[in-house]
Chain A
Amino acid sequence: MKVVHFFIGFMLLALVQVFIPSQMIWQQEDILESGTLYKFKTMPIDPNDPFRGKYITLNYEENSIKIADTSYRYGDKILIYLDKDRQGFAKVTSITKELSEAKGEYVRGEVTGNYNGVINFELPFNRFYMEESKAYDAEKAYRTVNRDSLVQNVYAEVYVKEGESVLRNVIIEGVPIQEYVKKENSN
């Protein structure tokens, strides 16, 4: 093997190394650009990823559906079909294992439980990365808002297109969570 071969091999690898993240970006931008916006009511908590830093895990209110079907088991990959109410909040209309275009817009998720005719599932967009100083405060801020029973006011903005989704932001009382935390801290 000559140097040139190694170099060509490396150029190919370098292209792939650039292509994969670029493609990730392109896909996400495309969803933000032309996807549909849904609002999901949510509850943030604050864990940690060693390479990607602080994030908040979002537990959504829309995490179950009443269907008496025991064929759905823990860990099954499912398609979750969405609709929204007048204020733009998302409602889960149905779930299936195989894609059915007629049921409208959908996201991919996973079954986390099936008990008493209620199927619980996990929505894919459950991580929201935040600046490390703000992630814990965000959780605290949520708890304060929740205590005042204003849960309506915490939701995630999610863009959906052809089964893929991008979590754009988390909104507390009408302002993005980062600004809300900043405001709370300065008070």
Chain B
Amino acid sequence: MGSKFNKELKTLVSDKVISPELADKIEQYYATKDVGKPNKLFAIFGVFGALLIGSGIILMLAHNWDDFSRLTKTILAFVPLVLGQILVGFSILKEKSATWKEASGTFLFFAVGACIALVSQIYNIPGELDSYLLTWIILCLPLIYLLRSHAVALLVVIWSTYYAVLVGLWSYRSSEIPWLYLVFFVSIIPYYGQLLKQKINSNAVTIFNWILPGSFVIALGGFVGNHGNLGFVSYIALFGLFYNIGRLDIFKPLRTLRNGYLIIGSLGTVISLLFFTFRWIWDEFPSTFGLHMQELYVLTALLIIALIVVGYTVFKKGIRQINLFQVAFLIFSMVYFFLPGIDVLPIVLMNILVFALGMSAIKIGADKFNFGILNYGLLIISILIICRFFDTGMSFVLRGVLFVLVGVGFFVTNYVMLKKQQRIKKQLKDLQL
């Protein structure tokens, strides 16, 4: 137990709140409670240690020592690999703690990378970085399940994202689609699903809740390429999908900050829709339909999956439980595909949509007594108005009045809610008395 806790106990004893015997008992209770529990801090340091040593080995080998013969280099390539394998084998066979498994798994991950790197250095094996990463990921993916290691799973997610970006965006040919990214992503899902079921509130799950959608947001760039608006629309569909996933029942026990899907989905939706409240973006894209089939496929797939998730929620909870954020992507897609040619109508509709999103966030915030969400809604509306400030020919007076109104809105809504909260607290207190 922490020394702060012990100090508090002593104060409680000296202030005669509890008896010295009781203090001893409490101290003993906490002392024995934590015995046998793996030390989280130790696990984290173990993983970081392995991470640093492993990448250090890769860097040292990347020097490409001229003075060593081919044989020496070959032996050097296999030493860390075999060492890592022995460590991992040992921790599986002896059923060692999670710390052991995480650390040895992380080390082996890098040892595999070092080994194939050195072999390709020795023989000047051709191939860009992406083919090397591919071999590396495939050789380490099974470790996730064999060791049940969070660290290896995270490394695989990060490496596959790197791979997707390399193949889809940074490759100088830039025409290939990183399909294998999807394979890697799907192969991690069962592991993640199991974690969700078993320890939804753990920090590991929180990290995955952020890393997985984050990875997909980055990798989608590799699928839609650099051209055109369909990519933009795909992103809006993806954010809609994430928001809907975040609203699923399984994530309900989570605090909002632990729900990366919800936050990434919501912020992503609002930010990308804000782009479409400008006139220039609608002016730029006519007649490019059907030119990039690949993006159209990606978009269709995303829309269908997102629709399935929305449909499922409607089916489970009824249409009344659906909020505007969940269907914003759908409204946007309809406007985008059916009304693009009609002069200002889509722009007006988009402005209304973003405004409505802001209002609905304010309502959600007010219903839940959540100041964060309430002000998020107000922020959306303010940003929308600031954007209009730049591109419309509204008169200065009107703009000024709008700004004042929104400013007043900020104060009034927060004030009203604060008062309401205090009233309820008082009522509760009265009830208790």
Question: Do B139 and A125 have beta carbons less than 8 Å apart?
Answer: no
Hey, which chain B residues are within 8 Å of A54, CB to CB?
A: 62, 64
Number of A-B contacts (CB under 8 A): 111
The one of B65, B123, B129, B147 in contact with A25, judged by C-beta atoms closer than 8 angstroms, is: B123
The one of B85, B112, B127, B146 in contact with A6, judged by C-beta atoms closer than 8 angstroms, is: B146
A3 sits at the interface (CB 8 A): yes
B349 sits at the interface (CB 8 A): no
Q: How far is the CA of A136 from the CA of B113 in the complex (A)?
A: 25
Least Cβ distance of B327 to chain A in Å? Answer: 41
From B13-21, B88-96, B229-237, B370-378, the one touching the partner chain is B88-96
The one of A13, A20, A127 in contact with B142, judged by C-beta atoms closer than 8 angstroms, is: A13
As a 0/1 sequence over residues 63 to 89 of chain B, the CB contacts with chain A under 8 angstroms (1 = contact) are: 111100000001001100110010011
The one of A6, A7, A25 in contact with B119, judged by C-beta atoms closer than 8 angstroms, is: A25
The one of A14, A16, A20, A53 in contact with B89, judged by C-beta atoms closer than 8 angstroms, is: A14
Interface residues on chain B, size class: 35 or more
The one of B123, B129, B173 in contact with A166, judged by C-beta atoms closer than 8 angstroms, is: B123
Question: Do B115 and A178 have beta carbons less than 8 Å apart?
Answer: no
Least Cβ distance of B147 to chain A in Å? Answer: 8
Task: Count contacts on A: residues with CB < 8 A to the other chain.
Answer: 37
Q: How far is the CA of A111 from the CA of B129 in the complex (A)?
A: 20
The one of A10, A21, A130 in contact with B88, judged by C-beta atoms closer than 8 angstroms, is: A10
Q: How far is the CA of A125 from the CA of B145 in the complex (A)?
A: 37
A18 sits at the interface (CB 8 A): yes
Q: How far is the CA of A131 from the CA of B139 in the complex (A)?
A: 27
The one of A3, A16, A25, A124 in contact with B93, judged by C-beta atoms closer than 8 angstroms, is: A3
Question: Do B121 and A129 have beta carbons less than 8 Å apart?
Answer: yes
Q: List the interface of chain A (C-beta within 8 A of B).
A: 3, 6-7, 9-11, 13-14, 16-18, 20-21, 24-25, 28, 49-55, 75, 124-132, 134, 166-167, 178
Q: List the interface of chain B (C-beta within 8 A of A).
A: 58, 61-66, 74, 77-78, 81-82, 85, 88-89, 92-93, 95, 108, 112-113, 115-117, 119-127, 129, 132, 135, 139, 142-143, 145-147, 173, 175
9 contacts between A and B (CB under 8 A): A18-B78, A18-B85, A21-B116, A24-B123, A25-B122, A28-B123, A54-B64, A127-B124, A178-B66
